[in-house]
Amino acid sequence: MSKSSGLAVLALLVGVSALGLGAYQILFPTPTKSGIKHTWYSFDKPSHYAGQAPLDIAIDSLLINFTVKSGESVYFHFNTMLHVSQGERFIFNFVLDNVILGGSPYPNWTIERTNNTLPISLQLSLDTVSAGAHNVTIGIYSRDATNYISSSTLLVQTYVP
């Protein structure tokens, strides 16, 4: 009988210890390590001409669907070649979930050049994107329909700061 009692006490101690460790993990979770969690990428070689509409033209061929988890921030990086033939402004904006991110607190990138081809690189980091599924692309605008972009890339990363 003493052997059974000893095993029962040992089993009880092991069970209580496991329960204690489980409760500790729930009450004091291990902090998530900072760094990049996921990356999405899109490349689009064709040219996209700016329209003369009063709104940005979203580049659907660059559209990226991505997912944000709780506690993650989002980083956007856009590269393109801008071809400007006239002295009109060319404006870039990120378009998140079909909403143009323009005005306060989001930056508008405005380029004013004449007869130039130049590389453009834009970045935006947000910690206000809610957890869940989202999509992003770039929006372009210029009053001169001969201005265009080509060879564009869009990168999205989620990260824990």
Instruction: Give the side-chain half-sphere CA count within 13 A for 22.
Output: 6
Domains of the chain, by residue range, sit at 1-30, 35-160
What pLDDT is stored for residue 159 in this prediction? 97
For residue 139, pLDDT over 60 is answered with: yes
In the chain, pLDDT over 90 holds for what percent of residues?
49
97: left (phi over 0), alpha (psi -120 to 50) or beta: left
The CATH number assigned to the domain with range 35-160 reads 2.60.120.40
Note the pLDDT tens digit of each residue in 80-114.
999 988 777 888 999 999 998 987 788 878 888 77
Spacing of C-alpha 19 from chain mean position: 39
pLDDT of residue 11: 67
Both structure tokens of 156: 């999205």
For 19, other C-beta atoms within 10 Å of its C-beta total 10
Query: Average pLDDT, stretch 18-34?
Result: 68
Three-state DSSP string of the chain: CHHHHHHHHHHHHHHHHHHHHHHHHHHCCCCCCCEEEEEEEEEECCCEECCCCCCCEECHHHCEEEEECCCCEEEEEEEEEEEECCCCEEEEEEEECCEECCCCCCCCEEEECCCEEEEEEEEEEECCCCCEEEEEEEEEEECCCCCEEEEEEEEEEEEEC
**What are phi and psi for residue 34, nearest 5 degrees?**
-75, 160
pLDDT at 125 over 90: yes
* Distance of alpha carbon 88 from alpha carbon 132, whole angstroms: 38
pLDDT of residue 7: 67
> Across all residues in the chain, what is the average pLDDT?
85
Q: Which of 88, 91, 117, 87 is nearest to 102 (CA)?
A: 91
